[in-house]
Amino acid sequence: MTVAALTQLLAGATRIVAFTGAGISTESGIPDFRSPGGIWTRYDPREFTFDRYVVSAEVRRRSWAMRRELLAGAHEPNAAHRALAELEDAGRLVAVVTQNTDGLHQAAGSREVVEIHGTSRAVTCIGEPTSGVPAGCGFRAPASWAFERIDGGDDDPRCPDCDGLVKSATVSFGQAMFPDALEAAAEHATSADVLLTIGSSLQVYPAAGLPQAARSAGASLAIVNDEPTPFDALADVVVRGRAGEVLPGAVADALGR
């Protein structure tokens, strides 16, 4: 389908909800997980489960190394992030629900951002959990807090308040999702008139359930991705292309700019 169909859909919408994945940030230099050259071609995802993080100091060390690699470099929002902020400024987009943990939507000026997988810009105490649910004391700090300690020789930093384990404030494999974020995401998706998914392979549940939920609640579904997704057949509009190339023009035309 063409970008014109996307423009037309956005032009008639007043409650757009964007649902973004790692693909919206690749043009900012942050690799996604599944593409060739992505993070998981160099790190084994089976290592980074929540339970393994809890029991193994070696897994924690490798996890901090991966985090450092993800956060390395000054990543800036790209034209796709900015186009969504523009739609929100124009009063046409109510929220961005993102699987990303990179903070680039907020950096682009988006105000209502639901981070369903948390943020890698912060670390948090998870205590000494015995199940997949963090049991921390509430300590939270910028990610730089952990890296400063690691650079100072403490390669397994502990919570300064309760001596519990400290982890990136993201949802790891095998970790319970944040219920508040999930609830907010579902509310947005089911009250949208258009759900605009961008740069997600739509393979990871429960997040991949959002397009279906939005569609069942009456929303139109638009998918912008550079490869097919399992939900293409359900969508009203599918644009196969790069987010940073597709969105700015579609948004500008939809807003009549």
Only one of the segments 105-113, 140-148, 223-231, 248-256 lies at the binding site for ligand NAD (rule: CB under 6 A); that segment is: 223-231
Q: Is 81 a catalytic residue?
A: no
Task: Examine residue 225 and tell whether it contacts ligand NAD (CB under 6 A).
Answer: yes
Which one among 10, 13, 16, 26 touches ligand NAD, defined by CB under 6 A?
26
Interaction between residue 27 and ligand NAD (CB under 6 A): yes
9 vs 13: CA distance, rounded Å: 7
Q: Does 227 bind ligand NAD (CB under 6 A)?
A: yes
Q: Which residues pair with 225 in a beta bridge?
A: 240
Residues 68-127 that bind ligand NAD (CB under 6 A): 99-102, 117
**Shortest approach of ligand NAD to residue 153 CB, angstroms?**
29
Q: Which of 6, 7, 21, 60 binds ligand NAD (CB under 6 A)?
A: 21
Cβ proximity to ligand NAD: between 117 and 215 the closer is 117
CA 179 to chain centre: 16
Asked if residue 32 binds ligand NAD (CB under 6 A), the reply is: yes
- The residue among 23 and 77 lying less far from ligand NAD, judged by its C-beta, is 23
φ/ψ of 142, rounded to 5, equals -60, 155
Instruction: Give yes or no for residue 63 binding ligand NAD (CB under 6 A).
Output: no
Considering 75, 81, 105, 117, which one is annotated as catalytic?
117
Residues 24 and 77: their CA atoms lie apart, in Å, by 9
Q: Where are the beta strands (DSSP E) in the chain?
A: 16-20, 93-98, 113-115, 118-127, 140-142, 165-170, 194-198, 220-225, 237-240
Applying CB under 6 A, which part among 20-28, 59-67, 189-197, 247-255 lies near ligand NAD?
A: 20-28
- Closer of 101 and 106 to ligand NAD (Cβ): 101
Q: Which of 3, 204, 213, 255 binds ligand NAD (CB under 6 A)?
A: 204
Which of 23, 157, 164, 211 lies at the binding interface for ligand NAD (CB under 6 A)?
A: 23
Best CA proximity match to 56, nearest among 70, 69, 46: 46
Q: How far, in Å, CA of 187 to CA of 210, rounded?
A: 10
Q: In what order do the strands lie in the sheet with 165-170?
A: 140-142, 118-127, 165-170
3-class DSSP assignment, residue 120: strand
Q: How many CB atoms lie within 10 A of CB 248?
A: 16
Bridge pairing between strands 118-127 and 16-20: unpaired
* Residues forming the active site: 117
Q: Which residues bind ligand NAD (CB under 6 A)?
A: 21-23, 25-27, 30, 32-35, 99-102, 117, 199-201, 203-204, 225-227, 242-243
